A and B are shown apart, each in its own frame.
Chain A
């Protein structure tokens, strides 16, 4: 299992150069059954990463490009009158696949955003009173542009909270960029080998829930969470859902690292990705604020 995970990381590294940390975080999110939000400037490889992720996990996927005129039915599907049978039949939209790539999610209007986020929360779509279950596993990998970009509708906090993690890729190292310019990268993610299937993915997810969360580690999570609650610097304190997410993410991170126990180091590794968007931090100053927080909270011994 460990080799498989390592192979996936290697494959993805072949697509996105020099971003091993982000790749691991993205995998952590998916292994924790969480939805992933990738936020960055245009042209940083957000879409490439999400495509590659879906491909390498061997999951059915659909890409939806969000625009300001996208309607909920464009994602969820719609009922169409069948003239032969004299009835409405439901035509499933792109959301009915194991991985949905929601590109530039903050370019669509709130109504459309809500439609997707409701599906994410409930793992089902309700249309004309009928419930339609979404496939399992079901992931949403959304990308968005930073909020100051024009033509964006910011996601409200309550909906941001649905995303397990938010990562940003950042500029690639120069050496990697050089390769990109020279066209030496493998942008053909469709031809990536499929490393695991859905059953194996579920097995990994189950395995991760057995990774040991020891008392000092849980103490550390609690200390961090409470530090945000006692600190006026943060607009939104971390909710219990965030605490749970921290634990789960740390377990997945430790698993990817090849361990069956979580250390405080794992918490520190995933902390920013799990909490940044929930704390409502400005993207530019967040890393400084979070560092301050980590400095202030003593690591339980």
Chain B
């Protein structure tokens, strides 16, 4: 059996790799299974550090069988990607627990490369990439350790070198190897846990989920338009008495949605969106958005949806048109949906709305304004941590008793009141505002910027936004929630620990913004480098060629490069003979002498040759002798070849080479 040196270093490194991999994917796995994996890691560490024996085969196999049961029971078969990732990591850890021979460790190292890569299924951020790259280096080092007697430091160094050498090839392939359409697609890995959902029921939650996860970034082509930015994502048009949902009719309409047709008129503005991977297909746009990106479809309501590749980040250009140019759906059935009230609920609100409507002469416009006034003047306040309202008639309770709530409460209530008086209304959820980065002039929108508002159809005017937040907490309309001064305390205490939580401290805020900018660059340059961008790059490089031609050219180039490299490697090399600077000067002199017909004999030493040259060129004798003196001083006496001597040498050569002027 081949002996493995550095066994403890190998064990330790592999354990560290798996612990760090787990730290990235633990949110995807159920807690019990996480605990199992962590304890396996700790067991491995303990065996190494405390020098205990590895478990025998019977114990390990029993445990493995048991763990598999836990896996199937706990993770389940619903999400096959997570299941297989979990299985891969579980088996690798058990293998590590039992590994004794070189072959075992090689297998584990190989598995680790796959385990490391699975992290990208769940996170593609710059931070994750950095950590995974470091772990790749470590894993390569482990592979080297298995084979050699070097210590970890040397192994890491050589694996780092390996990775740096591979980097140019990787960049080359990323940029130029044409991206082929995927042969298969991941069956919807679970992504962002937080975010928008299909149904809005604000009343049964006590705390708004305030994740500081990035949702998307937006960069305007021209001057950015004035705030507020209502990034529309979902329209909820069906109300069941408590919850706002997406009606089947609307869902059906979204399915038919197509790529945005170019409109004849000029858009209000156009912008680029870099959207992070998401669990749901909704994308984001302002007002009535359209996009011609081939993976984005546009609905007739001006919403954008992903066509496929949920797990990818996507960057697309969108154009926005005024919201009020869309007409109310002509279908009677659908008009009813938009007026549906869930009869016999929230009767107080209904009658109150109807009374208010009558007070304003059944005028839609006047009612719209009156409702704003009502929310502004009746002691409503904005909070991120409202008291939960349970039971039936939640809207009544909120409107007349509680009066404390966040966007969802106001939107839900307002939409209900509009519908009570026969004005078509719908709740729209999406994001409001965003943090503006001055340096690179883009907006970052985070999960905590999630917002809900109402769109009402006013006769003769079209769809209008009604957002009670605008009067209850006007500051919220500008910028991001994180920049909201009034809600700051509430906001930060809501967040999980992170840099944002410390953003009150100037230094941390600076750091956060810097990291944020870096991540923007990463997203827009690396993750956002999609097929479309590549095609345009390839077109500029190769002209308008067929994809297969370009592929062939790129592959041929890579092959050629490799062949050149291997030919270079096997080429008989001249011994690396770093010449002394003075020796180079001497050689210059020799080649000059050769031109003058003074040829060195094969066994002549430099000094002999210089002496000979001095005899042949009596007019230069003095300089040549000085050079010989300098040469023996530096090369044989080992005096320092100082800058003074360097200059002296150059001067002498110049003097020797220049033709003597005949004296008149």
Residue numbers of A with Cβ under 8 A of B are 212, 214, 216-217, 260-265, 268, 291, 294-299, 301
Contact = CB atoms under 8 A, between A and B. Distances in A.
B548 interface: no
Contacts of B638: 212, 214, 261
Nearest to A298: B602
B602 A295 contact: yes
Contacts of B635: 214, 216, 301
Interface in B605-648: 605-608, 632, 635-638
Interface in B582-618: 583, 586-587, 601-608
B604 A299 contact: yes
A299 B603 contact: yes
B636 A268 contact: no
A263 B610 CA distance: 13
A263 B605 contact: yes
A299 B637 contact: no
B308 interface: no
B262 interface: no
13 contacts: A214-B636, A214-B637, A261-B637, A261-B638, A262-B636, A263-B636, A264-B607, A265-B605, A268-B605, A298-B602, A301-B579, A301-B583, A301-B586
B148 to A, nearest CB: 31
B580 interface: yes
Q: Which of B580, B605, B637 has the most CB of A within 10 A?
A: B605
A268 B603 CA distance: 9
A265 B628 CA distance: 13
B233 to A, nearest CB: 74
A260 B636 CA distance: 9
A261 B631 CA distance: 12
A261 B633 CA distance: 9
Contacts of B579: 301
A263 B602 CA distance: 17
Q: Which of A217, A260, A295, A301 has the most CB of B within 10 A?
A: A301
Given A265-B607, A299-B603, 20 more contacts: A214-B636, A214-B637, A216-B580, A216-B635, A260-B637, A261-B636, A261-B638, A262-B636, A264-B605, A264-B606, A264-B607, A265-B608, A268-B603, A268-B605, A295-B601, A297-B603, A299-B604, A299-B605, A301-B586, A301-B587
B636 A299 contact: no
Contacts of A216: 580, 635-636
Interface residues of B, number: 18
B629 to A, nearest CB: 12
Contacts of A261: 632, 636-638
Given A301-B580, A301-B586, A263 B632 contact: yes
B82 to A, nearest CB: 64
A158 B335 CA distance: 116
Given A301-B580, A301-B583, A301-B587, A212 B603 contact: no
A263 B608 CA distance: 10
Contacts of A264: 605-607
B606 A217 contact: no
A129 to B, nearest CB: 50
Contacts of A297: 603
Given A212-B637, A214-B635, A301-B580, A263 B607 contact: yes
B603 A291 contact: yes
A143 B603 CA distance: 31
A212 B639 CA distance: 11
Contacts of A291: 603
A301 B602 CA distance: 13
B636 A212 contact: yes
Smallest CB-CB A-B distances: 9 pairs: A301-B583, A264-B605, A261-B637, A294-B603, A295-B602, A261-B636, A299-B605, A295-B603, A214-B636
A217 B586 CA distance: 16
Nearest to A217: B636
Contacts of B607: 263-265
B606 A301 contact: yes
Contacts of A260: 637
B634 to A, nearest CB: 9
Interface in B489-522: none
Contacts of A301: 579-580, 583, 586-587, 606, 635
Contacts of A217: 636
Interface in B289-312: none
Contacts of B605: 263-265, 268, 299
A22 B406 CA distance: 110
Contacts of B606: 264, 299, 301
A152 B586 CA distance: 51
Nearest to A297: B603
B36 to A, nearest CB: 64
B604 to A, nearest CB: 7
Contacts of B587: 301
Nearest to A216: B635
B632 to A, nearest CB: 6
A260 B639 CA distance: 12
A188 to B, nearest CB: 39
Contacts of B580: 216, 301
